[in-house]
Amino acid sequence: MRELFLLDPDTVFLNHGSFGACPREVFDAQQRWQLEMERNPVQFLGRRSAGLLREARERLGAFLGARADDLVFVPNATTGVNTVVQSLDLSAGDEVLTTDLEYGACDATWQRVCERAGATYRRVEIPLPYRRDEVVARVMAAVTERTRVIFVSHITSTTALILPVAELCAAARARGILTLIDGAHAPGQIALNIDAVAADFYVGNCHKWMCAPKGSGFLHARPEHHARLDALVTSWGYAEGTGGHSGFDAYLGRSTLERRMQWQGTRDIASWLTVPAAIDFQARHRWLAVQQRSHALARQALDALTQRFGLAPIAQDDDWAQMVVIPVPRQDADALRRRLYDESRVEVPVTTHRGQVYVRVAVQGYNTERDIAALLDSPALAR
């Protein structure tokens, strides 16, 4: 499968989790959409874009277990989080509850908005080693009468742990608390049914584990929340009628969510239109088997390095999917990452959490046992 991707053959790429990697045929499909747009930009953006995006969202919805009407495309999951966070009407004294495992950019978003509103952003510590069956009780025990929103990742970035989001959303809904789930790493890495998760808001990336082009993400909102969401860019989606702009004609009569979010002026929508090609690529290559093989390869690295350094894994085998963090002796994380790449051409992130250093191995269908061996044989990870 390595030949189906555009990756540098001289690099051992064990970092699919950061930005993904796009198969050659999917990249070609994106370029075909871009060429079609340039042949007649007015027709493409002004008269066809709404229908084309609708078709792409229908395919994405079928893949995610969600209605197309509840989905809009965004450039990435962080943009989706920002859209929701900045749309919520937080007041002084309100509280947003999260965990200490969340992605730094989203933490920064919440901190900024809460500070501006006079609200509190409070983290619940999730102990390691990880016990998934304790997460819901621990988070809900921290709820107060001021808690308005619970925000957690479906799969955490720094520690690669799968959180029990469906159970947490159900518990929050019973208490009348809104939920926002950051699913940046979930689509394409684990089985996902967004309607079953039943979060009030769910955001995710297509460019990571779904192997779609960069710049393709989505925002899902339950129908009762459509009207409360505001786009980060105010444009023709907020205007009545065409406002004299022919490009908006295609969006007349569309839902409030779609009008506000999808028509925001001139931009390249090719990455979104290519999402169905990425779905087709994975279907043809029996992606469940790819996921299982990738997990097994990541497990090889985990077993070898934890045995080498005498450090225990932070979670059980079913608490992570194709991406796993492996504890290594405490050291300068950035220096270790640089050595792995400079000395061994191994592209892999090194993360830290509560002072512990981890090598985060993210395995995709193009990886082989030789890639794992290159990581294990690197002088940077010698005993």
Q: 369-377 and 333-344 helices cross at what angle (nearest 10)?
A: 120
The Cα 348–Cα 357 span in angstroms is 13
Mapped onto helix, strand or coil, the DSSP state of residue 353 is strand
CATH architecture of 27-281: 3-Layer(aba) Sandwich (3.40)
State the fold for domain 286-381: Aspartate Aminotransferase, domain 1 (3.90.1150)
Cβ-contact 281, 127 below 8 angstroms: no
Going through the chain in order, the beta strands assigned E by DSSP cover 12-13, 71-74, 95-99, 120-124, 147-153, 178-183, 201-205, 217-221, 323-328, 346-347, 350-353, 356-362
Give pTM, 2 decimals.
0.96
The Cα 117–Cα 196 span in angstroms is 32
Domain regions of the chain by residue span: 27-281, 286-381
Q: What is the pLDDT along the chain (383 residues), one digit of tens a residue?
A: 999 999 999 999 999 999 999 999 999 999 999 999 999 999 999 889 999 999 999 999 999 999 999 999 999 999 999 999 999 999 999 999 999 999 999 999 999 999 999 999 999 999 999 999 999 999 999 999 999 999 999 999 999 999 999 999 999 999 999 999 999 999 999 999 999 999 999 999 999 999 999 999 999 999 999 999 999 998 888 877 654 455 555 555 566 788 888 877 789 999 999 999 999 999 999 999 999 999 999 999 999 999 999 999 999 999 999 999 999 999 999 999 999 999 999 999 999 999 999 999 999 999 999 999 999 999 999 97
Cβ-contact 201, 71 below 8 angstroms: no
Nearest-5° Cα angle at 172, 170 to 173: 65
What amino acid is encoded at 365 in this protein? G
